[in-house]
Amino acid sequence: MEIATGGPLVAALNKKDAIKLDIHYLDRIKIKKGKKIETVVVDIAESEKAVPEGSIGVYEEVLKSLKLKNKDKIGITLARKPLSISFIRKKLDGGTLTKPEIDQIVWDIVHNKLSDSELTFFVAACYTNLMSIDETILLTKAMAKCGNTLNLGKYPIIDKHCIGGLPGNRTTMVLVPIVAAYGLTIPKTSSRSITSPAGTADAMEVLAKVSFPINQMKRIIKKTNGCIVWGGSLNLAPADDKIINVEKTLEIDAESQLLASIMAKKQSVSSTHILIDIPVGNGGKVKNRKEALKLKRSFENIGKKLRKHVKVMITDGKQPIGNGIGPALEARDVLWILRRDRRKPLDLERKCISMCSEIFKMVGIRNSRTKVLNILNSGKAYKKMKEIIKAQEGKVFDERDIAIGKFKLDVSTFRNGTVTKIDNRTISRLARVAGAPTDKGAGIYLHKHINDKVKNGEKIFSVYSESRQKLHFVREAMAKSQRAFDIK
């Protein structure tokens, strides 16, 4: 069919053949070629042109799995639905899932045995009937077990995670070199952006390569004590990526799946000490402190049962962290902090120092804040970052080598006053309209933050784009969207 589904195994039958064989839309059939058999979901082709009678159209995943070629003769038989369908129905009815049931669901997700709609029902079931802590732990273990595992044979293994929703907030790229420079091991896997202007992997990719097989990742860590790589290339907890894609479409975040998703990735890299950052504020994933405290207790509870040291920090999420928003602008902020440049964003630096101090305390390091500052001010953190960039086949060590979008729009205020609010969602949306994260040089640079005084005609933020047309789209979006800044 020359179409990839991106996961589920699908084949299309001509409508007349389907009627003859009493096969219906979304039934399962087994396709057999020689000794190879694959179970696939059926689509029905209404058009003779798409799939002629007597033929079967297979999508790329099935072609690859069975090594099929055009005109090959194959056999088909009706197959039963995956076992996990009944378990998903049980969860929809409010039931509690057992270990074998959760293991089977995750196995079927990883091996593309569930159709998109069946996977969606599982995500929806866990959203409306939240999993218990015990179910969440079982889901975490099942997700970690169905992918690669990084074993470094070291203790402690440091990790951190931010649950997201906050523009900027590029703490990982400052924390990793500080922790690694002290001699601790921190194998950091990061995500690309889903709905934000940049994920950590997008920003790191401005400086170095981020896609590596797990063996090469291991070599980088042994050489430098740390890494900042894209988790998607490592097959760590692969069920998680499929679940996230469904959540993104539905724009939901099931708490149990959020917890399992994060902890499964940490389990996969054998982390022993994990710092979790929960930003709280409008426009973020967690709106208030009550929600954050509930999530904090859940993380700590799961950490205890998985025999991991988990520390949760509830941080200010009412405005972006740092000045740059977008891959290149965020990478530049990071290098300014590591190089101790006067243009460094102080709010991002303060947060990184605070988080790093907590990590050091977790592993019993005394005078942690002083030691973090010494590593930063002595240039050891920057030196370590250069080692990591080099090990990850990168060549950008200086912010002056980072290409920022050549088209620029300065946005100024028309009144005197004080910045009282910055709308995270509007800022993120404008940065994405400008081209981030696909266009690495696109994004927004903030000149002002909440509580800053402004004068009439003063710049409050600048938009950068690699395209004049996209800058025009930004102007249109600004006219239609909520104000990015409130000034009173």
d(CA 327, CA 199): 8
d(CA 485, CA 431): 14
d(CA 471, CA 466): 8
CA of residue 220 relative to chain centroid, distance: 21
Residues 6+ positions from 411 with CB-CB distance below 8 Å: 459, 460, 461, 462, 463, 478, 484
User: CA of 285: how far to CAs of 50, 60, 170, 248, 302, in Å?
Assistant: 44, 36, 17, 13, 20
Cβ-contact 279, 315 below 8 angstroms: yes
- Asked if 423 is an active-site residue, the reply is no
Angle, alpha carbons 280-439-282 (nearest 5°): 15
By C-alpha distance, which of 56, 50, 99, 49 is closest to 76?
A: 56
Residue 456 structure tokens:
């009439």
Catalytic residue among 253, 316, 452, 486: 253
> Which amino acids are annotated catalytic?
253
